[in-house]
Amino acid sequence: MPDNAAPARRADLADLAHEEQDAGATGAHTTDSTSQSPITGRPPVSWSAARAYVLALTLFALAGGPHLVGAVVAVVQQSGAEVPVEVLRVEEIGRLVGLAGAAVWLLGLILTRPRPHGVDRPLRQLTVLVGALAVIVADEAGEFTADRASTQIAGHLAELVVWVWLCVEVTARCGITLQRLNLARPVRLFRKRTKAERAQGELVFYAHAAAICASVFLMGVLARLPGPVLNGDQATAAGVPDLGPHLAHALWSATVEEVLATAVVVAVLTAARRPLWEVLLVTALMRALPHLYLGLWPTVAVLPLGITAGWLYHRYRRVIPLILAHATYNVVNILFGMPPLLGVCMIMLAGAGWSWLETRTVPPRSRSRPDPRG
């Protein structure tokens, strides 16, 4: 009996591996509720709509709440009302409070992470977290400059580590994997991709880049409608007019928006079996509301972008191409100015169409099932 059991188990594992490879080749994705958490190694916990919304809204309140407050204050200023100086500091104070809450949350998750074999000690994770927080505190205190002013670069990048880490840790603890973001095994990010995986990544990248260009073009059109709009550019409105801080802020916003407002929201609400239209609506609102400082009508133009990003992640479960497309647009816009939006949009759509054709022409992997008898 033992001689036959081991080959049978190996056969089952081989079948599972072939099924995962076939799913990747055809562009399908497996449901997160049937997988195991990469951190705990346990099946995912049962999800309810209330629990999913509490998790998503808590993360959004910590990371995006201060920016939402700042956007509302900007709307009040655009309407011509006077805003006290104390109110203008609420966004910065809220950012630090939200970051402190995220750090405490992450610390609790690290300390309570299940360790069945007692081998994985939290010392390494705690060292990274303390190091990131030390960089943030030093940058806020102006320790990196001679004039004791914050660089808004090192601190922003360290904040990015904390937010992404928290999103991955929270969802993984609940049995949900944000695909390609397994911080327990970061080397997997650089593994060799199959042709189907590369085509999927290119499809998501080009489609999201096209959606961004179309959204920005729509912003320009809607900005001509009656109503308050932003006077100046986004860098000045965000308080980062210098090039270095602007690039760091662009990378921060691109990553946090795609990981938190797209991947986490779609993953947890899908795990709670919410309908797709509800998932996409929540994703779009979480992306659009912090952009209220642009004006009412330009903010409306952000909604289709949120819906598109949410659908792309729901369909392909690829978050890194979303981040790369968003960050690439931000960096190009900062360094070279606004590109010809319609032309770039058409080129990106053509690239997305070509990548989609590649995903349809990849030959399916042939399955070879080993004999259970060895």
Nearest alpha-carbon partner for 153 in 135, 166, 165? 135
Spatial contact of 188 and 127, defined as CB atoms under 8 Å apart: no
φ and ψ of 44, to 5 deg: -65, 150
What gap in Å lies between CA 88 and CA 69, rounded to an integer? 9
| Range of lowest pLDDT (10-14, 45-49, 114-118) | 10-14
The 3-class secondary structure across the chain, one letter per residue, is CHHHHHHHHHHHHHHHHHHHHHHHHHCCCCCHHHCCCCCCCCCCCCCCHHHHHHHHHHHHHHHCHHHHHHHHHHHHHHCCCCCCHHHHCHHHHHHHHHHHHHHHHHHHHHHCCCCCCCCCCCHHHHHHHHHHHHHHHHHHCCCCCCCCCCCCCHHHHHHHHHHHHHHHHHHHHCCCCCCCCCCCCHHHHHCCCCHHHHHHHHHHHHHHHHHHHHHHHHHHHHCCCCCCECCCCHHHHHCCCCHHHHHHHHHHHHHHHHHHHHHHHHHHHHHCCCCHHHHHHHHHHHHHHHHHHHEHHHHHCHHHHHHHHHHHHHHHCCCHHHHHHHHHHHHHHHHHCCCCHHHHHHHHHHHHHHHHHHHHHCCCCCCCCCCCCC
Per-residue pLDDT reduced to its tens digit, 195-216: 777 888 889 999 999 999 999 9
> Which amino acid appears at position 225 of this protein?
L
pLDDT of residue 102: 95
Q: Specify the residue for token string 């690039």.
A: 247
Residue 347's Cβ-side half-sphere holds a number of Cα atoms within 13 Å equal to: 7
Instruction: Pick the most confident of 188-202, 296-310, 329-343.
Output: 296-310
What gap in Å lies between CA 200 and CA 294, rounded to an integer? 33
pLDDT confidence band for 324 (50 / 70 / 90):
very high
Question: In this model, does residue 257 exceed pLDDT 60?
Answer: yes
What gap in Å lies between CA 252 and CA 160, rounded to an integer? 6
- Where b means 16+ CB within 10 Å and e means fewer, 40-76 reads beeebeebeeeebbebbeebbebbbbbbbbbbbbbbe
Nearest 5 degrees, angle CA 112-CA 115-CA 119?
125
pLDDT of residue 351: 84
Structure tokens at 209: 């880049």
Residue 309's Cβ-side half-sphere holds a number of Cα atoms within 13 Å equal to: 37
| Range of lowest pLDDT (65-69, 122-126, 232-236, 354-358) | 232-236
Per-residue pLDDT reduced to its tens digit, 143-190: 777 777 777 788 889 999 999 999 999 988 878 887 655 555 555 555
Rg value, the chain, Cα: 22
Instruction: Give burial (CB, 10 Å; 0-12/13-18/19+) of 275.
Output: exposed
pLDDT confidence band for 295 (50 / 70 / 90):
confident
pLDDT of residue 185: 54
Question: For the chain, what's the residue count?
Answer: 374
State the chain's mean pLDDT as an integer: 78
Per-residue pLDDT reduced to its tens digit, 13-67: 444 444 444 444 434 444 443 344 444 444 445 678 888 999 999 999 999 888 8
